[in-house]
Structure 1
């Protein structure tokens, strides 16, 4: 039960952190385009793109999205591994601390 909760929490955390990362990168792509500067910009290993073009008459068209989801999967996997490793390390440290506390209480 405990391992499944750890797995589900890490999956959910990885999904949320990956979405936040993708959103922040898309915002950076949008705001890094200067006035009168048109074209396509890609980020996150070519996964995300932002494209702006002149539609004529002082109208600018903009599109953004996912070009290739491979980079997002890589980020998701890396975040998942880091979350699992950090939670396991925290669990082991808590067990070690409680063992030390129990040993100190039995000795003194």
Structure 2
């Protein structure tokens, strides 16, 4: 997420004013021209749903990997015990 915001920040031209979104509209980087001629920026989360979905999917994948690893480790120990006796 941080890398995406940094990419948005550096892909915006120096004189370009407007908003850019990334990751299915969840993150926003906006540049605005202020009254005194300065450029102001705003970054943040526009829509948290894609970020929450990503977190849940990654958590599920990691839990599955951990369960598979434990199962394989138990099977290995079982096979070693059977071959040793």
Instruction: Please list the CA deviations of residues 41-61 of structure 1 after superposition, one character each: whole Å capped at 9, or x if unmatched.
Output: 111111110001222665221
| In 2: Cα distance, 1:24 partner to 1:39 partner | 20
| In 1: Cα distance, 2:61 partner to 2:49 partner | 19
Q: 1:61-100 counterparts in 2 under 5 A?
A: 61-100=40-79
| In 1: Cα distance, 2:17 partner to 2:72 partner | 52
RMSD of equivalent CA atoms: 1.5
| In 2: Cα distance, 1:27 partner to 1:42 partner | 12
Deviating 4+ runs (over 4 angstroms) = none
SS of the equivalent of 1:46 reads: coil
SS of the equivalent of 1:42 reads: strand
Higher RCO structure, 1 or 2 (CA under 8 Å, sep 6+): 1
| In 1: Cα distance, 2:76 partner to 2:17 partner | 58
Structure with the largest fraction of strand:
2
Compare CA radii of gyration and give the structure with the larger one: 2
